[in-house]
Chain A
């Protein structure tokens, strides 16, 4: 079992839909990251959070430390949101990130 698991693996949506991507982890963490990766592109950090909720534009990230679960929400989705969204955690005992396998999102007009 992977230490960081994401669901769904693939997600398609119509423009304007509300989207949720989930991440569960099994290790103790100091922080959790949501990252965005476009095809052929590098990785962009969207959020780094250790508790509660953060919002940036149409993106919202929440984390529940007790349940070891985080969600990334996209409101009013747009085709330009199409990308792979990756959850990664900073585990307590190391300074390296442990990554999920990503969720591939496609938003159609």
Chain B
């Protein structure tokens, strides 16, 4: 069956612009996670959804970052007023439920120029 998909695969944007990154989880997975991976580093947690609600958003670095999952499936990570430091690979993962094995998407490579 289909795995986790993310679009776009690459995004280049200018400093100050707004971007949206999309994640399509595996069908039936109630838990969805966003992570950010900077070059040479391991991924860092951003936000976790259980169903439609954000169960833990403690990893969002500041209020320029926001994520939604309005129908409990697809999620969008939104970044306002992008900064060069936001450049990273943004990874999405989903799991059947909290604590279950997470399946990762291919990531979106964001470059802010």
Contacts and interface: CB of A to CB of B under 8 A. Distances in A.
Interface of A: 4, 30-31, 33, 35, 41-45, 48, 86, 88, 90, 94-102
B104 A97 contact: no
Interface of B: 31, 33, 35, 40-45, 48, 50, 55-56, 59, 91, 93, 98-99, 101-107
Nearest to B50: A95
A95 B42 contact: no
Contacts, number: 57
B100 to A, nearest CB: 9
A31 B33 CA distance: 17
Contacts of A44: 104
B107 A96 contact: no
B34 to A, nearest CB: 10
